[in-house]
Amino acid sequence: MSLASNFSARSPVLRSDRPLSNDQIRAVVPSIFAETPHESRSERYRYIPTATVLSELRKEGFEPFMVCQTRVRNEDRREHTKHLIRLRHASQISGAEANEIILLNSHDGSSSYQMLAGMFRFVCHNGLVCGDTFADVRVPHKGDITDQVIKGAYDVLQSFEQVHRSREAMRAITLEEGEQEIFARSALALKYDDPNKPAPVTERQLLMPRRFEERKADLWSTFNRVQENFIKGGLNGRAANGRQQRTRAVQGIDQNLKLNRALWMLAQGMQQLKA
């Protein structure tokens, strides 16, 4: 499972701890509200209005908390370019964790329509994207798409029960110290995969908790410590030339999703080994 498009670290982004209004979204990500496809599209192109999908998901209780669109050099594409929305259910806004729908679309042919199941941890404000055992709905802009889009939304909603079961199963698995280090070492290999350039940080640094309540040995806590230390960065390390450096936060939308997804799948693999 992979994101159908790329977003650079400098893409226009709006995040909030409260549901975003249409006016707030339109000011930063106007492409969500395109009323027609870009003029470059042919008659075979089937327009999927993101604003309509957003309205329907709001009826299901999901509200947007983060939006993003790609930077464009050609201004006539700004109103139609690729965009991403992360939505949480209103009933989970004040909880420790929330299910999310991640929606990707465009109105200029630069990406397909895609929906993913995700999860958000409020304690560290890192979005977790679930692995390929959960919903990944893609709809090309052609043919009869209406039913596919509606069915896809419900497929994503139903997949959250699977997410919950996997999370609880990980919480029930205790990892020995050596197993935690194996998990962290495998995680380092996901990001620093050049054998000629050693990782700038160690397994123990990735496993270091940032909060007292995460000093637990279960798989879920281990996974979350590693995930947060990767995403937030700020760890002291050494470059290949020996110079001291601090790891950078993961800011690019696509890079964030790719790394989160890979870590989730790694955690699932450890869960299966320990089952």
The 10s digit of each residue's pLDDT in 142-183 is 666 666 766 777 777 777 777 788 889 999 999 999 999 999
Final residue in a domain of this structure, among 160, 191, 206: 160
Same structural domain, 108 and 41 = yes
Backbone phi, psi, residue 4, to 5°: -75, 0
The verdict on residue 169 lying in a domain is no
Nearest by Cα to 244 from 254, 236, 252 = 236
Output the six-digit token pair for 85: 């929305």
Q: What is the pLDDT of residues 97-146, one digit of tens each?
A: 777 788 888 888 777 788 877 776 654 555 555 544 455 667 766 666 66
Same structural domain, 24 and 144 = yes
Scanning the structure block, which residue is given the tokens 């008659």?
Answer: 43
Buried b (16+ CB within 10 A) or exposed e, 155-190: ebbebbeebeebbebbeebebeeebbbebbebbbee
The verdict on residue 5 lying in a domain is no
Domain residues for the domain of 263 are 177-274
Instruction: With beta carbons less than 8 A apart as the criterion, state whether 93 and 65 touch.
Output: no
The verdict on residue 67 lying in a domain is yes
The verdict on residue 8 lying in a domain is no
The verdict on residue 1 lying in a domain is no
Same structural domain, 46 and 73 = yes
How many Å apart are CA 229 and CA 46, to the nearest integer?
A: 42
> Around Cβ 139, how many Cβ atoms within 10 Å?
20
Same structural domain, 182 and 220 = yes
How many Å apart are CA 102 and CA 87, to the nearest integer?
A: 6
Per-residue confidence (pLDDT) for residue 226, from 0 to 100: 92
pTM: predicted TM-score of the whole model, two decimal places: 0.66
Same structural domain, 216 and 243 = yes
How many Å apart are CA 102 and CA 84, to the nearest integer?
A: 7
Nearest by Cα to 203 from 224, 221, 181, 222 = 181
> What is the three-class DSSP state of 237?
strand
Same structural domain, 156 and 232 = no
Nearest by Cα to 85 from 151, 8, 2, 16 = 16
